[in-house]
Amino acid sequence: MLGILRRKVASDASSALIKRKSWHRSLVEVSRPIVCTASAEEILRLARCSHTRNLSHLTLSGYTDLQASRGIKDKFLPQITMWTLNRPFCSNSGDLVDAVVPFMGESISDGTLATFLKKPGDRVEVDEPIAQIETDKVTIDVTSPEAGVIQKFVAKEGDTVEPGTKIAVISKSGEGVDHVAPSEKPAEKAAPEKKVEQPKPKVESPAAEVKKEEKPKPKVEASPPPKTTATEPQLPPKERERRVPMTRLRKRVATRLKDSQNTFALLTTFNEVDMTNLMKLRSEYKDAFVEKHGVKLGLMSGFVKAAVSGLQNQPIINAVIDGDDIIYRDYIDISIAVGTPKGLVVPVIRNADKMNFAEIEKEINTLAKKANAGTISIDEMAGGSFTISNGGVYGSLLSTPIINPPQSAILGMHSIVNRPMVVAGNIVPRPMMYVALTYDHRLIDGREAVLFLRRIKDVVEDPRRLLLDI
């Protein structure tokens, strides 16, 4: 019995020893380095293909330190992933970039590609304008995002474009760019074709010439010109007319002005202003004014201050109708009409009631320069509670201005002309200006309109009233 037990114990110990050696051998097999047979080029090539889903079965020849497929992924997948993600967005290793239409403002959804400022093959710098987008209100530049050479245009003039639309492709290195504008290529190709297609002179036999002489050509009698009576108008020929499409700014101005006529009950009242004292004030202090404030003293600031005084005395002029309600504005923003080569724009002087003469002159000069340069923004033209239009700079003697919606009145200034006036019983020459106020008669009665224009006349003729507030 004791011998049987000894043999059983020895048998169990030997089997356990065999199992332990087998497990140890298995661990050694697992931790043994994997010998790879594939090359690095094959892995990179297969990784670019869509079939390769797992790299764990691929091995690299010459590498015995990679213990699992995770090692291959850690060494090569970051590079492969980066290469795959960058390729669609930047072709040619990031050499080509797109110039797109920028954001044009909250109220502007699209614009018209007015003109290209550059040609394919031209070199541009960062933020250099390459095209202009014309909107209902302003002209916006499309700038180059990088320095380089314009490779091609992907839009043409006259196209309607939206923010984000691609306009041009720019090569940062200038490679693959044809330095000949596309419009010049057809002319170069057409030149040799014309030489080839020149007809050769035909040699005809004498018999053919005789046949031609025998066959008389039919005579075409010219119809006599139609007789015109004395009352029939003579219209110019169509060849002397040109049809040009309207710009977006011009169409917008036309629409707004016609809507103003159709909506408002327009009525205009007139008065005349003696400019003697304001011109004398300007003449006496113009040098000291420039020396201190760095800007010239003009007549416009005097009329702006006079308009502010008039609006404070007659708040209804600063109000507007909105449906069945009247909106009274407790601020005074004066719009100044500025004529530019591209059309009429109306920048706004904000909080004019809190500004002095120098601040008003500086703001007018800044806005006028931006308007003429085409760099004025939409925010600088938005709003406004009252408009001043100075047609006198062009020599206008008298006019009836049209209200700028959503306002209720507009003041028209005109040219200064020396006229004989009766002063203290004597006839003397005086520099006189006609002023006109067009107002919405649905909201503003004639009394308020006349009193407002009378206040402007009193302040301009005697600027000391502004100091005394009388």
pLDDT digits (tens, 9 = 90+) for 351-396: 999 999 999 999 999 999 998 888 888 889 888 999 999 999 999 9
- Whether the predicted pLDDT of 294 surpasses 60: yes
Tens of pLDDT, residues 205-215: 444 444 445 55
The answer to whether 339 touches 284, Cβ cutoff 8 Å, is no
Q: Check: CB of residue 181 under 8 Å from CB of residue 121.
A: yes
Average pLDDT, the chain: 76
CB–CB of 120/153 below 8 Å? yes
What is the rounded CA–CA span in Å between residue 124 and residue 127?
Answer: 8
Q: Phi and psi dihedrals of 79, rounded to 5?
A: -70, -40
Q: Residues 246-256: what's their mean pLDDT?
A: 85
In this model, does residue 103 exceed pLDDT 80? yes
DSSP summary character for residue 61: B
Residue 307 CA to its chain's centroid (Å): 33
pLDDT at res. 67:
41
Position 347 pLDDT exceeds 90: yes
Comparison of pLDDT for 320 and 67, the residue scoring more? 320
Give long-range contacts, CB 8 A cutoff, 24+ apart: 388-392: 388/300, 388/303, 388/304, 388/307, 388/334, 388/335, 388/336, 388/337, 388/413, 389/337, 389/413, 390/300, 390/303, 390/337, 391/415, 392/416, 392/433
Q: For the beta carbon of residue 129, count every other beta carbon within 10 angstroms.
A: 14
Q: What is the pLDDT of residue 5?
A: 47
**Mean predicted confidence (pLDDT) in 120-139:** 86
Position 82 pLDDT exceeds 50: no
Bigger pLDDT: 216 or 168? 168
Residue 469, pLDDT score? 83
- Partners of 326 in beta bridges: 321
Gap between the Cα atoms of 60 and 49, Å rounded: 18
Query: Cα(271)–Cα(303) distance, rounded to whole angstroms?
Result: 14
Structure tokens at 426: 């004597």
Sign of the CA dihedral running 300, 354, 293, 357: positive
Lowest model confidence (mean pLDDT) among 8-17, 94-103, 120-129, 362-371:
8-17
Which amino acids are annotated catalytic? 441, 445
Distance, C-alpha 175 to centroid of its chain: 30
End-to-end CA distance of the chain: 137
Contact 179, 104 (CB under 8 A): no
| Half-sphere exposure (Cβ direction) of 220: Cα atoms closer than 13 Å | 1
pLDDT level of residue 59 (50, 70, 90 thresholds): very low
pLDDT at 248: 83
Q: What is the DSSP letter of 317?
A: G
Bigger pLDDT: 152 or 210?
A: 152
Q: At what angle do helices 276-293 and 446-461 cross, to 10 degrees?
A: 60
Phi, psi of 417 (to 5 degrees): -130, 135
How high is the pLDDT of residue 141?
A: 86
Q: Which two tokens stand for residue 428?
A: 């003397």
Which residues are 387's β-sheet partners? Answer: 335, 410
Mean pLDDT in residue range 255-262: 90
Asked whether residue 236 carries a pLDDT value surpassing 90, the answer given is no
Which amino acid does the sequence have at 219?
K
What pTM value is reported for the model? Answer: 0.59
Alpha helices for 87-198 (secondary structure H):
91-94, 185-196
Position 178 scores a pLDDT of 56
Domains and CATH numbers, the chain: 31-89 (no CATH), 93-180 (2.40.50.100), 248-468 (3.30.559.10)
- Residue 30 tokens, joined: 């697992």
Q: Could you tell me which residue, 215 or 140, shows the higher pLDDT?
A: 140
What is the structure's pLDDT at 1?
46
Asked if the model's pLDDT at residue 349 lies above 80, the reply is yes
In degrees, to the nearest 5, what angle opens at C-alpha 127 toward C-alphas 122 and 132? Answer: 75
In which band, very low, low, confident or very high, does the pLDDT at 46 lie, cut at 50, 70 and 90? very low
Tokens standing for residue 212: 């031609």
Q: pLDDT tens, 401-431?
A: 999 999 999 999 999 999 999 998 999 999 9
Pairing mode, strands 320-322 and 111-116: unpaired
The predicted structure's pLDDT at residue 243? 87
Q: Which amino acid is at 235?
A: L
Q: How far apart are alpha carbons 112 and 31 in whole angstroms?
A: 69
State pLDDT tens for residues 297-345. 999 999 999 999 999 999 999 999 999 999 999 999 999 998 888 778 8
Q: Name the phi and psi angles at 280, rounded to 5.
A: -70, -40
Q: What percent of the chain has pLDDT over 70?
A: 67
pLDDT attached to residue 453: 97
Q: Which residue type is seen at 228?
A: T
8 Å CB contact between 400 and 313:
no
- pLDDT, greater one: 64 or 403: 403
- What pLDDT, on a 0 to 100 scale, did the predictor assign at position 114? 85
Q: Who contacts 134 (Cβ-Cβ below 8 Å, separation ≥6)?
A: 111, 112, 113, 114, 247, 248, 249, 342
Task: State whether residue 166 is helix, strand or coil.
Answer: strand
- 8 A C-beta contact, residue 121 and residue 178: yes
User: Among all chains, which residue has been given the structure tokens 């691929």?
Assistant: 58
The least confident of 64-68, 231-235, 325-329, 354-358 is: 64-68
